[in-house]
Amino acid sequence: MSVSKAVKALTLPARLVIADPRATGTLLLAVLYFPDKLRSLLPERVYEVVTSPRFVRALKAFLGLGVARTVNNKLSQYVVNNWKSNAKFIKSQEVVLITGGCSGIGLGMVEAFSRMGTKVVVMDLSPPKTSIPQGVHFYQCDVTSSSQISDAAAEIRKSVGDPTVLINNAGIGSSATILDGSEEIIRKTFEVNTIAHFLMVKEFLPAMIKKNKGHVVTIASMASFIVHAGNVDYSCTKASALAFHEGLASELKARYNAPDVRTTVVHPSWIRTPLIQRLLDHPGFKDPVIEPEVVVSRVVDQVVSGQSGQLFLPSAIGVFGYLRSWPSWLQNGFRNRIAHTLEEVKL
């Protein structure tokens, strides 16, 4: 274990206490109103520290920040769910459609939902390289082709029913610079990562609107907020994926009167897959990397919860969601700092 990981592990309890207003509030209450009881429970030197004026001021500050954070999170949750209670996810009655479900995190989600006993439909350009779980319905389909989507949709409705959950997971990237990237790959990146979301929703959303029930999950990226040199086309598509998610949520409520159709957008950082192995092996690469199982688990849990939301994976990098509000000098400085991440590694 590295030194930084060891420090994080050892300080985890303290960091959890500081972040939880229930913990800081309880401790502050004990310090202010039950000092004798506290003294009987703590070593004298620890007691002197926690009852010192400086520590009490820090506790009050952490309590205030914790309360503000909790209220902000709750308010955000209520607003994105249109002040509605959680939509029920009934495992035996749902039909989950996942694009790009024959590999990577897509396949992981297919397996997770299948284990629940939920009907799962996979749409992918290529057939699975390994056997998919029994009972999963596979349709070979180019999700950038509206005619192929329509043909597959007719078969899906006939044999499985209308999907109640749509996970737009299919995506590609090239790591080429603006001048080096071919027109063909640039167009393909936009078609798969952005246009396909529109085509899939046009086909499957009307049934959700009619029942005022469903969930559309958009797999975006931290590239929705952060652009790497050599990754501009991909970042553009993921920024548009975020805009698609936000606009879809607004239209469901304001134009289609379907406030119970949930929407979720997911922003993973680098995911440990063979696709980026050369990047992971590079000695200068220090960005946070998450395991595929983490992404799969969080997305599946989000769908089962029946809530709309925005997931940052890992959650600590959510601070970069505010990048566009940073001063220009700080934004540009950060982009320049990471500009060489992909320079020597061709994914």
Q: Which residues belong to the active site?
A: 234, 238
The answer to whether residues 214 and 166 touch, using CB atoms and an 8 Å cutoff, is yes
* Cα–Cα distance for residue pair 251/216, rounded to 1 Å: 13
Distance in angstroms between the alpha carbons of the first and the last residue of the chain: 27
* Token pair for 57: 């001021």
Two tokens at 41? 């429970």
Q: Give dist(CA 138, CA 140) in Å, integer.
A: 7
Q: In 285-301, which positions are buried (b, 16+ CB within 10 angstroms) versus exposed (e)?
A: beeebbebeebbebbbe
Contact 148, 196 (CB under 8 A): no
